Structure 1
Amino acid sequence: MTALIGIAVVLVAFLVLAYKRAPLWLTSLVVLAGLGYCIAVQGAHWGWGAGALAVLAVLNLKPLRRAIVTGPLFSVFKKITPPMSQTEQEAIDAGTVWWDRDLFSGKPDYNKLHSYPAPKLTAEEEAFLNGPTETLCQMLDDWQITQETKDLPPEVWQFIKDNGFLGMIIKKQFGGKEFSNYAHARVVTKIATRSGSAAVTVMVPNSLGPGELLQHYGTDAQKNYYLPRLAKGLDIPCFALTSPEAGSDAGGIPDYGIVCRGSYTDPRTGEKHDNVLGMRVTWEKRYITLGPVATVLGLAFKLYDPEHLLGDKEDIGITCALIPTNHEGVSIGRRHYPGTATFQNGPNWGKDVFIPMDWIIGGKDYVGQGWRMLVECLSVGRCISLPAMSVASGKLASYTTGAYARIRNQFGMSIGKFEGVDEALGRIGGFTYQMDAAQRLALTALDLGEKPSVLSGILKYHNTERMRKTINDAMDVHAGKAVCTGPRNYLALGYGAIPVAITVEGANILTRSMIIFGQGAIRCHPFVLKEMRAAMGNDGKAFDDAVIGHIGFTVSNAVRALVLGATGAKLAGGGKSGPTAQYYRDITRLSSAFAFLADMGMASLGGSLKFKEKLSARLGDMLSNLYIATASLKKFEDDGAPKEDLPLLRWAVETALFDCQEAMNGFLANHPSGALAWLMRRVVFPFGQSYKPASDRTGTAVAKLLMEPSASRDRLVHYMYRSKDENDAVGVLEHALKAVIETEALEGKLRSAQRKGQLAGITAQDKLDDARSKGLINDIEFAAVQRARRLKREVIMVDDFDPQLAMADSGAIHRKVI
């Protein structure tokens, strides 16, 4: 019995060391010492020690370990590791990992998280948001843009050009604004709360496009010519990547160029050049934003050199070039019609168009480097453009739906007080908090010089999906108000444009099922990329170091997941004290569980996991929700940890933790090996699934925050354009909300008087007049109720049109019959 107790002590010591991630040599010494004590003092059988000594010798002596364990494993690994295409390799190598690596570690460092600076605008950036951006928003009429003119008005186009909106990312030395990524995103967010079409027009030249590529890779001559023109709007850029036969599979684009010598006339100068080295390019592109109005075309194509004019290589690879759109042979097509978002978008094509070598972005030195260039820039743009528009949709939905739910009455009370509406409001506010927090943290990474490729995928998918859910809820609450389109409907146009955000920059299905975890597992995991590179380089020694570290990492996370699961994460440290302390502990627990499940998934399924998209998608959901939870906590602390924001934080974090748990449950329930899944479940959920979604009480608290003016509500919708005009469909909401709140007690008093039979008359106006005449309310109160009812009517009214639905009746809003 005493020997068994001694062995139990050794086992506990091993678990402690594994939990603490002690090095292999230290763990081995402790285990040997413990077993030695059990044999010598407690009378344990010497076979225990001999067996342990043999195992530990194999693990610690590298030559022996490589001969017996990692060498044979290396041979198998090389066979089962799927080959990586050039585009996959370049995508893996592109960008950087950041906080996502900590989440993949199973042991996030929260001190590191909170050491990252809170994002802030400079005085110049703040002035731009409050000045030109505010003015631009005032100029925008989204109904006119999308339904009547199908384009931005000429004066708006000119204002955008003249005020540098197209050059926010361009350095000042070239005439640009050189704004931070945070400022860039906030400008897009503010414009998007007014007009999606205008926001797209501004964001595209500042994200993935010639300007970004030129700054990073362009030759001096290219930079000096194009960047000042792009910054001033003298040139309008577009970038042509997507082909009819190849959408998300950029490596499969059929567009090609053949290196040759030829002649051309430069449309910029009119000069003719003969017998110059260049290429004849043939392409067909579609979905090209700003394509119909662009003056300079960024083009991606595969370059071939059959005559070896550049070197020995014939298949050079994807290459990017800049071509003036008035160059001979370039065909700019008409326009696509992307739903209710009528930004300029269309196809273009060309056949055997000769362009010189110096039109390649970066010149001759960058032939074949196009895909790497694109994915590095894409990781930046995907963190900014669409996530910013998603945040804008959340802010607009929170602001308008909260106000509308308080203003609109049914059965004698605000509809926001009905629990069904209250539930939808809670989701709207909570998702908006999550979206804003997730992007803010990623923007911090960008402004610190990172290019977070994995986080960009998380943002693209999860922010646009939350945008979809948020607008759907807002539409439900507004009901008929949101169904009848017209100048006064501030939701329907955004609702119609949802598919654009969901599909562009990679369809969401692809992003979730293949990219987030597929790229995250390789880039963020501390050992997987090392193992893959060792296999590709046939480096057995490097593989040995990586795989033994990987095994220890997996064992440690298994122990940590089990211990933290069994103790309710009470042993986890780090984070902040107070009301958020348990959240940090829970995230640590789930981070360890996620890292363990990821390793077990890769170990049990090998290269086939790449094709098990439903499973890899769930692993991606785990990582994503851990990121969203930590980003929400970071936002809360950066905002000064205001107590009044706790309902929003609780909803955001608790929902993310629950969603992470559900992804784990789905992974385990659908793993091909039932026995292994059972074992993993015992480790990850030793006492079952304990996380619950945000409570009804929390959702109600969020709903209340949206339904009345407050500092918390202002923080949630910060950087939204808020018109002060009572004649504006959105602007009237704040006036009506304040008026309704101020007269709620008076309206209650009037209803009470009516129930008691104290008021005469048929209509509401008759009864209000009678209340004043009888002295139940004074003249000031009468005027306040009158004004509140007028503003309420303006909020709930919808547009009506002529029989051809061509022109809305602007006077209908003031029509009063009863």
Structure 2
Amino acid sequence: MEILILLLVLVIVVFAVTDVRRSLITRPVFRIFKKILPPLSDTEREAMQAGDVWWDGQLFSGRPDWHQLHAMTPPTFSDDEQAFIDNQLETLLAMLDDFRIVQQDRDLPEEVWQYLRKERFFAMIIGKEFGGLDFSPAANSHIVARIATRSLSAAVSVMVPNSLGPGELLSHYGTDEQKQRWLPALAQGDEIPCFALTGPEAGSDAGAIPDTGVICEGEHDGEKVLGIRLNWDKRYITLAPVATVLGLAFKLYDPDGLLGEKKAIGITCALIPTDHPGVVTGDRHYPLNQAFMNGTTSGKDVFIPLDWIIGGVEYAGKGWRMLVECLSAGRGISLPALATATGHTAERMTGAYAYVRQQFGLPIGKFEGVQAAMGKIGGTNYSLESMRRLTVNALCQGKSPSVVTAMTKYHMTEMGREVMDAAMDIHAGKGIQLGPKNYLGQGYMATPVSITVEGANILTRNLMIFGQGATRCHPYVLQEMDAAANPDEEAGLREFDKLLMKHIGFAVSNVFSSLFMGLTGSRFNQAPVSGETGRYYQHLTRMSRVLAMAADVSMLIMGGDLKRKEMISARLGDVLSHLYMASAVLKRYEDDGRQQGDLAFVHYALQHHLAAIGKAFEGFFDNFPNRVVAYTLKFIAFPFGIRFREPRDEVLQQISESMMEPGATRDRHTFLCYWKDDAEDMTGHMEKAFISMLAMKEVYKTLRKAEKRGDIGADLHGDALVDAAIAAELIDATEADKLRETERLRKGAIAVDSFKPGTIENVSFYKKPTKRSRKSSTAEEA
């Protein structure tokens, strides 16, 4: 007993007496920490410091405040935004013929280009003081997503000027002179922008771009001025073939010290008119049969004045930080909008098709194999829309959560691919045969585009989400890194000492809390709501705590090697991501008023995300290099094993039945999907057939019974079915007319497009882009 008391006193003295603690504990740990600290390149450090920590920080802390999540007010549209959505957007959607755009013209029709410019679709992020629309991220996301349900080529053409590019960079960093020169012209559509970052040798590693600019003297507008001699070769640049102004990222050098002592200034962004001498644009890529303008640009010995640097000379070398800070638009708005459009279209059209398409006398949506795929579509779409809303919520609050937008981009584009695959499986030939009535084929082919751009998904999952999230979202690690990097070692040590004590308390608390929650099945965790979703909050709080424990141990054991252990870190990133997605689902369910019709979708989403968390942890424990630590962690976190499972069959069946029922739930889940009340329309033909068949449901039941009794022949369709029903006196004249129309719509809906010989062969493979003039026709007329 005396020894135990002595040891306890010794521990208290060591930790309580500051000088003793710093000497015996903090200083050795400080030295070790500096050694194992993962080395960061300049671009990595800038990426790490850019953006905000938001709800992701709560989830990473192990102590998510669910009341704080619920208190976030969902964004709404302003009067101007709603009017634009109701009028200009609807007009545009009615103008779009995706088959003509993609298969025939391989470009947007000139009248569409003019309408986009006239109505300022390219100016949603530009301020009203410069003639832009100044729309919120919520309106931006809604508009891009709804266009994407009609034409991905049109959606990409709209989203790029409103994403990472000259408009956004100028709005945030441009000089007053640059803003006055360019933003009004961009807002009116007199200028078409593109931004050139990616090149043959630099994709994900943007810091390795070989494109260069050298500070020197040269001639501009007949005068000798100080400027930059540029050389670049870029590819994959959307809108480059038709752009009139080019945003360019390059590495800037000052070998003669004309700006100062620094020779290698760093990544810089400049704005260059495409008709400037030496600028080359026009060549097109052909991105997976899509018609949006995407191509190359290059320049050799192109001289520009210094004031063409975005933000002026003081922003020379700050280009990478500028780009990273602005990436939230592409990662958090545009690409998630495309993925959500896929979900809305797939759920609405697949539900209709599964009812309209019949085999063995039943809608194919009544067969369990089809129901499994339908359940996945509906449940995943619920997560997609939930995640879109929550991420847009952050952006509307003025936040720029870099980790959240990385998670959103990766998982939503991958989920969009899964939804499209399931929809194509159900539609079979209807989805394969391209033509004016195929609403899936082009989206199916275009899915890899979203997955590839704005940071390829492999990079995003394996390096960014946890690699950046572990540092940014952790309550103490980033501050400890700053302390360790302090050139004043003693000052750094003092700050590190304060943080280390907090970190130790945090880690110890996570270990014991994880074990307690594992032994009690999370049942003592508080939930902000009761009812069927209350249990999910308890599970998610527990998984958040386990993640915090696993992350701390991983960083302690592997240190800088964790950066290279991509498979390990990616699994922890998956845990964080699915915690975020599950949070989004619960938030949406509450925001929508806990709709009873949504419960099956909510159960699917939450059960799927928890199962994915369990799978990620299983892989983490199985592959953690220190096996003793791995077994210990697994026992603490899951003393009775990982027991989360994918949704049960009955949940999938409930979702599939809901997808085949018209009404508020279906409309609420698929409101982004555009369809026209036209039997010849791309989506309208299926919607009209679906509604008509449901209206005649009882008549079809009567006819099926008559067929079984032998009162009418088997396998009758169309006019033959109507004539037989009349002859057997099963329907009256009014019902006969309705049935005849319904059969016509049904046959049109299950039909696929075909073409006369020579029609397809005579369509030219390549259509040279029309260089957009600097003035729209509207401006010229004025």
Per the alignment, do residues 640 and 337 of structure 1 end up closer, same or farther by CA in structure 2, a change over 3 Å counting? same
Secondary structure, aligned partner of 1:497: helix
1:167 matched to 2:123: yes
In structure 2, the residue matched to 1:493 is 442
1:280-679 aligned within 5 A:
280-537=229-486, 538=489, 539-679=492-632
Amino acid at match of 2:410: Y
Amino acid at match of 1:247: G
In structure 2, the residue matched to 1:138 is 94
1:7-156 aligned within 5 A:
45-156=1-112
Q: Distance in 2 between matches of 1:407 and 1:528?
A: 56
1:803 matched to 2:741: no
Q: Distance in 2 between matches of 1:762 and 1:116?
A: 56
1:774 matched to 2:723: no
Contact 2:330/2:454, CA 8 A, preserved across alignment: no
Deviation at 1:774, TM superposition (A): 3.3
Deviation at 1:719, TM superposition (A): 2.6
Per the alignment, do residues 434 and 808 of structure 1 end up closer, same or farther by CA in structure 2, a change over 3 Å counting? farther
Secondary structure, aligned partner of 2:161: helix
Deviation at 1:244, TM superposition (A): 0.5
1:201-216 aligned within 5 A:
201-216=157-172
Deviation at 1:805, TM superposition (A): 5.3
Which ranges in structure 1 are unaligned for 5 or more consecutive residues? 1-44, 265-271, 810-818
Residue of 204, 211, 214 corresponding to 1:255:
211
Q: Deviations over 1:263-317 (max 9, x none)?
A: 12xxxxxxx2422111101111000000010000000000011111111111111
Contact 1:801/1:808, CA 8 A, preserved across alignment: no
Q: Distance in 1 between matches of 2:325 and 2:720?
A: 68
Q: Distance in 2 between matches of 1:807 and 1:323?
A: 40
Deviation at 1:650, TM superposition (A): 1.2
In structure 1, the residue matched to 2:179 is 223
Deviation at 1:354, TM superposition (A): 0.7
Secondary structure, aligned partner of 2:287: coil
Secondary structure, aligned partner of 1:286: strand
Contact 2:711/2:728, CA 8 A, preserved across alignment: no
Deviation at 1:564, TM superposition (A): 1.2
Deviation at 1:808, TM superposition (A): 11
Secondary structure, aligned partner of 1:277: strand
Deviation at 1:767, TM superposition (A): 5.0
Secondary structure, aligned partner of 1:308: coil
Secondary structure, aligned partner of 2:523: coil
User: Which of these two proteins has the greater Rg computed from alpha carbons?
Assistant: 1
Secondary structure, aligned partner of 1:690: coil
Contact 2:39/2:560, CA 8 A, preserved across alignment: no
Secondary structure, aligned partner of 2:644: coil
Q: Distance in 1 between matches of 2:603 and 2:24?
A: 51
- Which range moves more in the overlay, 696-705 or 503-512? 696-705
Q: Distance in 2 between matches of 1:183 and 1:575?
A: 30
Q: Distance in 1 between matches of 2:721 and 2:425?
A: 32
- Which range moves more in the overlay, 228-237 or 577-586? 577-586
Contact 1:800/1:808, CA 8 A, preserved across alignment: no
Deviation at 1:340, TM superposition (A): 2.2
Q: Distance in 2 between matches of 1:645 and 1:421?
A: 20
Secondary structure, aligned partner of 2:126: coil
Secondary structure, aligned partner of 1:578: coil
Q: Distance in 2 between matches of 1:638 and 1:722?
A: 26
Contact 1:490/1:729, CA 8 A, preserved across alignment: yes
Contact 1:799/1:808, CA 8 A, preserved across alignment: no
Q: Deviations over 1:520-577 (max 9, x none)?
A: 0111000110111111114111222222222211111111111112111111114222
Amino acid at match of 1:374: L
Deviation at 1:716, TM superposition (A): 0.7
Contact 1:729/1:795, CA 8 A, preserved across alignment: no
Q: Deviations over 1:150-203 (max 9, x none)?
A: 100000000000001000111100000000000000000010000000000000
Residue of 649, 656, 681 corresponding to 1:703:
656
Q: Distance in 1 between matches of 2:51 and 2:532?
A: 36
Deviation at 1:781, TM superposition (A): 2.2
Secondary structure, aligned partner of 1:299: strand
Q: Distance in 2 between matches of 1:546 and 1:65?
A: 13
Contact 1:431/1:470, CA 8 A, preserved across alignment: yes
Secondary structure, aligned partner of 2:529: coil
1:243-282 aligned within 5 A:
243-264=199-220, 272-282=221-231
Q: Distance in 2 between matches of 1:196 and 1:762?
A: 39
Deviation at 1:58, TM superposition (A): 1.4
Secondary structure, aligned partner of 2:160: helix
Deviation at 1:751, TM superposition (A): 2.0
Secondary structure, aligned partner of 1:205: coil
Deviation at 1:369, TM superposition (A): 0.5
Give the share of equivalent positions with the same residue, in percent: 50
In structure 1, the residue matched to 2:739 is 785
Deviation at 1:804, TM superposition (A): 3.8
- Which range moves more in the overlay, 536-545 or 199-208? 536-545
Q: Distance in 2 between matches of 1:103 and 1:390?
A: 24
Deviation at 1:135, TM superposition (A): 0.8
Amino acid at match of 1:776: L
Q: Distance in 2 between matches of 1:759 and 1:130?
A: 48
Q: Distance in 2 between matches of 1:285 and 1:529?
A: 35
Per the alignment, do residues 88 and 718 of structure 1 end up closer, same or farther by CA in structure 2, a change over 3 Å counting? same
Contact 2:242/2:282, CA 8 A, preserved across alignment: no
Contact 2:96/2:151, CA 8 A, preserved across alignment: yes
Contact 1:736/1:791, CA 8 A, preserved across alignment: yes
Contact 1:442/1:455, CA 8 A, preserved across alignment: yes
Deviation at 1:768, TM superposition (A): 3.5
Residue of 660, 669, 686 corresponding to 2:639:
686
Secondary structure, aligned partner of 2:395: helix
Q: Distance in 1 between matches of 2:16 and 2:603?
A: 46
Contact 1:257/1:282, CA 8 A, preserved across alignment: yes
TM-score normalized with structure 1 length: 0.91
Contact 1:74/1:540, CA 8 A, preserved across alignment: yes
Amino acid at match of 2:160: V
Question: Which of structure 1's runs of 4+ aligned residues deviate more than 6 A?
Answer: none
Q: Distance in 2 between matches of 1:258 and 1:618?
A: 43
Contact 2:675/2:681, CA 8 A, preserved across alignment: no
Amino acid at match of 1:137: L
- Which range moves more in the overlay, 782-791 or 426-435? 782-791
Q: Distance in 1 between matches of 2:500 and 2:713?
A: 86
Q: Distance in 1 between matches of 2:167 and 2:234?
A: 20
Q: Distance in 1 between matches of 2:482 and 2:329?
A: 26
Q: Distance in 1 between matches of 2:672 and 2:440?
A: 18
Amino acid at match of 2:188: K
Q: Distance in 1 between matches of 2:735 and 2:8?
A: 87
Per the alignment, do residues 799 and 604 of structure 1 end up closer, same or farther by CA in structure 2, a change over 3 Å counting? same
TM-score normalized with structure 2 length: 0.95
Q: Distance in 2 between matches of 1:195 and 1:141?
A: 8
Q: Distance in 2 between matches of 1:437 and 1:157?
A: 32
